[in-house]
Amino acid sequence: MDEERALYIVRAGEAGAIERVLRDYSDKHRATFKFESTDEDKRKKLCEGIFKVLIKDIPTTCQVSCLEVLRILSRDKKVLVPVTTKENMQILLRLAKLNELDDSLEKVSEFPVIVESLKCLCNIVFNSQMAQQLSLELNLAAKLCNLLRKCKDRKFINDIKCFDLRLLFLLSLLHTDIRSQLRYELQGLPLLTQILESAFSIKWTDEYESAIDHNGPPLSPQETDCAIEALKALFNVTVDSWKVHKESDSHQFRVMAAVLRHCLLIVGPTEDKTEELHSNAVNLLSNVPVSCLDVLICPLTHEETAQQATTLDELPSNKTAEKETVLKNNTMVYNGMNMEAIHVLLNFMEKRIDKGSSYREGLTPVLSLLTECSRAHRNIRKFLKDQVLPPLRDVTNRPEVGSTVRNKLVRLMTHVDLGVKQIAAEFLFVLCKERVDSLLKYTGYGNAAGLLAARGLLAGGRGDNWYSEDEDTDTEEYKNAKPNINLITGHLEEPMPNPIDEMTEEQKEYEAMKLVNMLDKLSREELLKPMGLKPDGTITPLEEALNQYSVIEETSSDTD
């Protein structure tokens, strides 16, 4: 009934009547996302009628009402089939100021029309494959970049930027060709980075360092939304950058990483918005070549160095050597470097662990990022090792029991999701400089067995990557407890009585043969398969492992 009345007025009415009836329709159906199939034809005709009205010379308020209804109707994919034509797309492009290269967005009264047109285009492109093809034909990505350049430094048109960026994100998500066009032809990387700089109001103090005001106000909701959309678009543009990275791109990636560092150190209007902002920053950092992530940390300024020295002087003399990490004026300092951004990433990771769900989507990106940073940058690894795996003192509890970051990560090493447990184990392994003995000290053999088996390190040793040779120092408490630590569980256990101490030799032999027979039966019925270690440390069936060792011994004897 609503469609019939609106269609009648749209076809026969004047602008004022059209505006009123469409405003009523919009108010009534603003939250409608599912439509009755019985009125499908009426909605199609209403869409067609609205496009015919939009080509006329009508007041701005009437244009806005038409576009609001069109946005609501474009949520229905079936309605879009007959109305998604090149002519209708061009009408929306004209209203969104996407066809005018030299128009400078001076008429504030037109801004609502531009925003609603962009909203309509977002819905239509997302829901219609025909619209996606027409977008390529009409070179929509280039037009959107041109509109961004017009408004990148204009804070009072954040809504235009936001929906321009959202449409750019959708196009780059749906068409891989557009990602390449954005990256190289349209210079999307510097353009979108500048959009982020504008949203964050960044003031540079050095080439890759920005001024951070910890007492400043949070981002406004509009700035936050704009930044999130820019981060998502940048993610698509740079999704393959880590493997196609050229040395000539290093500067631009370092600038982007510096902007993302700034992003991690500011907050949004709400806690949820801050988490969403930081989550998108983490995803984008995962696309940055690891060699460019060194800008996440930076040397202390002269003022910060003086503050650190004052703090250390105030500590008792017997404590100064133990506190390499100093928290002063909200700044995490380690080895003369500002580690604030890394500390934020660590806290973000812990919050995602504490959520207890969606680990693959929510946790693995930040864990992977911290792993790669630690592998490539010594100061980051040492800082994270200090925070996650501090020197062991109390070993009375199992490594997976407790509320520290280490305990939470060790629990993840036996998670049911293979990807989650692999990246958690890999992170801890890298913090231990890929040394098996060091990893086992913090996790126990049982928790680490999966990683070691996959790496062929069950017999010990270390990984393939090179790390500095500085040695870990054990605490006196750990040294005293070490002889009684159960290597499998990784914690201190009271000596247990040996059950065979009171057996006679005949009883021991009987029990041994009984166990052999049980294992033999299980093996013959293929309920289990005896395994052994090959010389390279990987697992293989026991017979094959013994054969390989026999071959090695024979070869060695022949050589002798």
Q: What residues pair up with 326 in beta bridges, in sequence order?
A: 333
Same domain, 421 and 545: no
Residue 326 to residue 22: CA distance in whole angstroms: 62
The burial class, CB within 10 Å (0-12 / 13-18 / 19+), for 160 is buried
Give the pLDDT confidence score for residue 240 in this predicted structure. Answer: 76
Domain extent, residue 546, equals 529-556
Same domain, 337 and 478: yes
Residue 193 to residue 203: CA distance in whole angstroms: 14
Residue 367 to residue 348: CA distance in whole angstroms: 10
Asked if residue 545 is part of any domain, the answer here is yes
Asked if residue 290 is part of any domain, the answer here is no
Phi, psi of 462, deg, nearest 5: -150, 165
Residue where a domain stops, chosen among 120, 138, 156: 138
Using CA of residue 415, residue 426, residue 488, residue 476, what is the dihedral sign? negative
Asked if residue 184 lies in contact with residue 300, where contact means CB atoms within 8 angstroms, the answer is no
Give the pLDDT confidence score for residue 529 in this predicted structure. Answer: 79
Same domain, 551 and 477: no
Asked if residue 392 is part of any domain, the answer here is yes
Task: Name all contacts of 419-423 with Cβ < 8 Å and 24+ positions apart.
Answer: 419/360, 419/364, 420/359, 420/360, 420/363, 420/364, 421/450, 422/450, 422/451, 422/454, 423/364, 423/367, 423/368, 423/371
Asked if residue 55 is part of any domain, the answer here is yes
Domain count, the chain: 3
Residue 338 host element (H or E): strand 337-338
Same domain, 38 and 97: yes
Same domain, 76 and 127: yes
Same domain, 441 and 537: no
Same domain, 341 and 486: yes
Give the pLDDT confidence score for residue 321 in this predicted structure. Answer: 45
The burial class, CB within 10 Å (0-12 / 13-18 / 19+), for 496 is exposed
Place of tokens 């050229």: 246
Place of tokens 């801050």: 274
Same domain, 410 and 537: no
Amino acid at the residue 258 = A
Asked if residue 265 is part of any domain, the answer here is no
Say which CATH number the domain at 57 has: 1.25.10
Which tens digits make up the pLDDT trace of 72-104?
A: 999 998 888 888 999 999 999 999 999 866 566
Give the pLDDT confidence score for residue 555 in this predicted structure. Answer: 63
Residue where a domain stops, chosen among 492, 521, 547: 492
For the chain, report the end-to-end CA distance as a whole number of angstroms. Answer: 99
Same domain, 445 and 536: no
Q: Collect the ranges in the chain with pLDDT lower than 70.
A: 1, 100-104, 152-156, 241-247, 301-331, 464-472, 537, 549-560
Same domain, 7 and 107: yes
Residue where a domain stops, chosen among 122, 138, 154: 138
Give the pLDDT confidence score for residue 559 in this predicted structure. Answer: 52
Asked if residue 300 is part of any domain, the answer here is no
Asked if residue 57 is part of any domain, the answer here is yes
Same domain, 443 and 552: no
Same domain, 412 and 356: yes
Asked if residue 340 is part of any domain, the answer here is yes
